[in-house]
Amino acid sequence: MSALIEAIGRAPRAAFAAFLALHFAVWTLLPTLLYANLPLDLIEALTYGREWQPGYDKLPPLPWWLVEVMYRLFGVDAAYYALAQAAVVIAFTAVFMTAVPLVGLRRALIAILIIDGLHYFHFTAVKFNHDVIQLPLWGLAGYALYCGLRRGGLGYWILFGLSVGLALWAKYFVVVLAVPYAMFLLIDREARPALARPGPWIAAVLALAVMAPHIAWLVSNDFLPFAYAEARSAPARGLIDHLVHPLAFLGGQVFYFLPGLLIASALWWPRPQPAASTPPADAFDSRIVSLLAFGPAATVVVLAAISGRGTVAMWGYPLWLFLGLWIVLTFWSAIDQARMGRIVMLWGLVFTLFVAAFVADYLVLPPLDHRYRAVLFPGETLAAELDRRFRDATGTPLAYVIGSMWNGGNAAHYSPERTQPRVLIDGLPRRAPWIDLADLKSKGAVVVWTEGDLQKLPEEFAAVAPGAEPGVPFDLPFRRGGNVLHVGWAVLKPSR
């Protein structure tokens, strides 16, 4: 261990590269080995992404397109988990590059180890989704803003504009990134002169240009996804919610960051000796870092306090990327070999505990607690059964599935058909407007449901599949854990 710490101290850049490689390998391998079925977010991505729409009824399309690209390039589950960790690695790299000129290589590494205590970057990031894809874009936006303000190169402002523009295609949450950054440029006395130069304005025009196609889609579709976003946050029930909801969000974020604080505690315990040198960062740098670390989070809290609407804990994904940098800059002290060793060992402890918790949750506990876990769902056998029964009833390949996003998405993705069936989500044409109902009736469809009366076609599906003939329900065992899936199904025979 002593030799390892000494090597890290001598070559922190190489240590950072080794950390990235370890992080990528472990958190790609774990879900590949332990997830017997793709999680909901990836099933949803594969259901939506194949349609290549400029917008959908729930969220922007970027992560779904990326998953579809990985499917077409590789077609294996490991590719989606690797995509998630690639997003994390890019985000970490952007933070590291921001930190190096401010605190030096060794402290930049420490800043990354601290934020790696957040489950947002590993345990839950394995399920690539709209939260995960924000990480590299927000990290690059923060890096580009810092460099644009301090170095003034036009290339940084171009990167900033691209990052912010693409962030809209990732998630509408980008507003809490853009607002505090724009306010800082207007209010800070040393940032304001940048507005007299072309960089920030080029960034703004570029961001709007990148956003424009999706904004046009939103306008032409009456801002359809915003209804989903509104449904995700609880409405204000009274004045007390204007206080409770933001405090609940903050409390949840503090709780999630406790492992990171444990790692950071080695910076001030045992009490450190004063550093021999002062931080390379000046007061303006410190204000920029404070903006990156707290600006978006403060915006979320203020908006929640004003509106009184509920918040979602997982909104915290991209908010704390620069918090480790703020900590090492604020609590500046000598980093000798002993202190570096304690930081690395605490990080190693936290990292190991997260790995152990992941293994326990998906391998050890399922036979004991029998809790429903989507990643143990029998999606492959469900798809094979539905495909076989449709062929037996019609003599034709399965082209369409009518069902929920989860049931229908699994049946489509794991279908043995070379051309995967398309999904009429929830049996609602408005949720899948790309589906040609005439073609669906011409080619027929299988209907699948797992709740309610399994021998009777649910009303919500009967409306779009009149005449579908229910079959005898069947059961399928989950991949692990002893749970059983009860399946109702029906065949809508081709009309031609």
> Model confidence at 495, in pLDDT bands (50, 70, 90)?
confident
Residue 273 pLDDT exceeds 80: no
Q: Is the pTM of the predicted complex or chain greater than 0.75? A: yes
Please give the pLDDT value at position 10.
85
> Model confidence at 407, in pLDDT bands (50, 70, 90)?
very high
- Tell me, what amino acid is at 138? W
More confident residue, 236 or 403: 403
- Is the separation of the CB atoms in 401 and 446 below 8 Å? yes
Structure confidence by residue, pLDDT tens digits, 409-447: 999 999 998 788 999 999 999 999 999 999 999 999 999
Give the separation between CA 305 and CA 451, rounded to whole angstroms.
39
Residue 174 pLDDT exceeds 90: yes
Give the separation between CA 198 and CA 184, rounded to whole angstroms.
17
Please give the pLDDT value at position 321.
98
| Neighbouring-strand partners of residue 474 | 487
| Neighbouring-strand partners of residue 477 | 484
Please give the pLDDT value at position 227.
83
Give the separation between CA 460 and CA 465, rounded to whole angstroms.
9
Nearest residue to 17 (alpha-carbon basis) of 112, 140, 107, 136 = 112
Q: Give the pLDDT mean for 21-32.
A: 98
Q: Coil, strand or helix: which one is 401?
A: strand
Give the separation between CA 59 and CA 187, rounded to whole angstroms.
32
Structure confidence by residue, pLDDT tens digits, 294-337: 999 999 999 999 999 888 889 999 999 999 999 999 998 888 88
Give the separation between CA 95 and CA 108, rounded to whole angstroms.
8
Query: Which region holds residue 443: left if phi is over 0, alpha if psi is between -120 and 50, else beta?
Result: alpha
Residue 234 pLDDT exceeds 80: no
Query: Using CA atoms in the order 160, 165, 168, 173, what is the torsion angle rounded to 10 degrees?
Result: 30
Residue 276 pLDDT exceeds 70: no
More confident residue, 9 or 137: 137
Per-residue DSSP letter, 316: G
> Model confidence at 287, in pLDDT bands (50, 70, 90)?
very high
> Any idea where the domains of the chain sit in the sequence?
2-363, 375-492
Residue 184 pLDDT exceeds 90: yes
Q: Give the pLDDT mean for 240-254.
A: 93
What mean pLDDT value characterizes the chain? Answer: 94
